[in-house]
Every structure is written in C-alpha cells, then in structure tokens.
Amino acid sequence: MNEKIMASESLIIKRLFNLDSNAYVEGHLDVKSKELIGLTCSLVLRCDDCVKYHLGKCKEIGLSKEQVHEAMGVATLVGGTIVVPHLRRAFEYWEELQHV
C-alpha cells in the first residue's frame, strides 16, 4: 500500500513520507533516543500500528525490554489509563518480536 500512496498525485503525502523516512536517523540525537520518542508519542496518541512499527525498530536497534517497558511506563503515566489497552497490545507485540 505504501507504493500506492507514493504513486499518488498528492505531493504533500509524498513529501510527508519522505520526511518521515528521514526523521529517525542519527542527528543531534542518537537513533535510540529518536525511536523512543517515536514509540512514546505513538503510544500517547494511541495508534497501535505506529506503536508496532516503532517497537520493531526499537528491537532492531538493540533497545532492551527493560528500556522499552520503562519508556512505555512514562508514556502511560502521561497519557493515562486510556492508554492501557494499547499498552497491552504493545506488550504482546514485543513478545512476538522475540520469536521472529
């Protein structure tokens, strides 16, 4: 579906996608800090797909379970118990990632 979106006539969408693919590379902040930002912002905004995407990245770049749990703990405190069902799915998905 990403290809279809990139094939769209909409310039804004294409440029947003380009921006997004460059946003999490190392810069003044390292990749781990940036992925934790992506993960926790996705969690407080309660987007399961976004959380999963960033959990995959977090695993890839070597963040530990303890670090990811701690980050998600802060996000749940900020976002409230309304975040908990998403937290649950994030925990499940993180476990799945260990068996890939």
Chain residues in the site for a copy of itself (CB under 8 A): 1-2, 4-5, 8-13, 15-17, 19-20, 22-24, 27-29, 32-34, 36-38, 40-42, 44-47, 49-50, 64-67, 69-85, 87-88, 91-92, 95
- How many angstroms separate the Cα of 36 from the Cα of each of 32, 54, 57, 75, 78? 6, 8, 10, 10, 14
Measured CA to CA, the distance from residue 27 to residue 47 in angstroms comes to 25
Pick 4 or 99: Cβ nearer a copy of itself: 4
Name the minimum Å distance from CB 25 to a copy of itself: 11
